[in-house]
Amino acid sequence: MTKIRIAVQKSGRLNQDSLKILKDCGISIDNGKDQLKATARNFPLEVLYLRNGDIPQYLRDGIVDIAVLGENVLIEKGRDISIVEKLGFSKCRVSLAVPKSTKYNSVKDFEGKRIATSYPNTVLDYLKSKGVTADLHIINGSVEIAPNIGLADGICDIVSSGSTLFKNNLKEVEVILKSEAVLAVSPKISEECTVILEKLQFRIKSVLQARNNKYILLNAPNDKLDEIISILPGMRSPTVLPLAEEGWSSVHTVLNKDTFWEVIDELKEAGAEGILVCPIEKMVI
């Protein structure tokens, strides 16, 4: 039986989040300690645990069919590889940073300066677009220490919360790009694996929709029903059911988490009561 091969980062936060979304898709993976390859029990899928930076080449060569990795890695090493789904987790920025004591005005301040980075292609493209020339020092890991030991005047690295920069006496001065985990596909994927990918994407979309929405139930007086329904941006139209108490109805709908609290405030002002909020496990549209 044909199985689709998916690459995920072999350790760290991206590894955990990648395996979680597969689990939420109902895929059970037999994964022993320190295994570099594992097979799903209930879906035609094999998982390969690889270094994040190596994954673009594995995709390019057709060793794996699909992969979950950071968009920043594809921008640096795999711009020829297609993204089929943005996954919404492991969000970060690729940024330029300098010592806190450095007076900074604009990206032009990097002219002729030394920049330590693990993302030379990304930095060069950005600086070129700004008309700036700098001397790059390519480092794999512990980039933040470079200014403190006199190796560089600034750095370019991934930033999530900024705590690592703070601990190393650095400040973020330019955001080059924003990144998140993506599902990427090999240019050499077979027709059989493409069919499996479509099934997997269907499950992933259902999980992502569920994560981005909440199910709400509320009680509404019938004389305020039209006003309350006009506030709700549900998938199509809300479900309205009569309550045992005459003159009242129960309204059921779905709200996007990004606008959730604003809509709830409007509903309360319009007369909604007894608002119940429930998580959604899967959302098939």
Q: Which of 5-19, 59-73, 221-235 has the lowest mean pLDDT?
A: 221-235
pLDDT the model gives residue 235: 63
30 or 247, which is more confident? 247
pLDDT at 135 > cutoff 90: yes
pLDDT the model gives residue 234: 60
Query: What is the rounded average pLDDT of the residues 103-117?
Result: 95
pLDDT at 53 > cutoff 70: yes
- When pLDDT is cut at 50, 70 and 90, the band that residue 284 belongs to is confident
> The tokens 């933040």 sit on which residue?
144
pLDDT the model gives residue 171: 95
Q: What is the pLDDT of residues 258-278, one digit of tens each?
A: 888 999 999 999 999 999 999
* All domains of the chain in start order, with CATH: 4-89+180-189 (3.40.190.10), 92-179 (3.40.190.10), 213-279 (3.30.70.120)
- When pLDDT is cut at 50, 70 and 90, the band that residue 33 belongs to is low
Q: What is the CA radius of gyration of the chain?
A: 24
For the chain, percent of residues with pLDDT exceeding 70: 99
pLDDT at 251 > cutoff 80: yes
- Token code pair at residue 63: 């060793």
Do the beta carbons of residue 189 and residue 259 sit within 8 Å? no
**What is the reported pTM?**
0.85
pLDDT at 1 > cutoff 90: no
pLDDT at 139 > cutoff 70: yes
pLDDT at 156 > cutoff 80: yes
Q: Which of 21-25, 121-125, 160-164, 180-184 has the lowest mean pLDDT?
A: 160-164
Do the beta carbons of residue 219 and residue 273 sit within 8 Å? yes
Q: What is the pLDDT of residues 76-86, one digit of tens each?
A: 998 899 999 99
pLDDT the model gives residue 12: 81
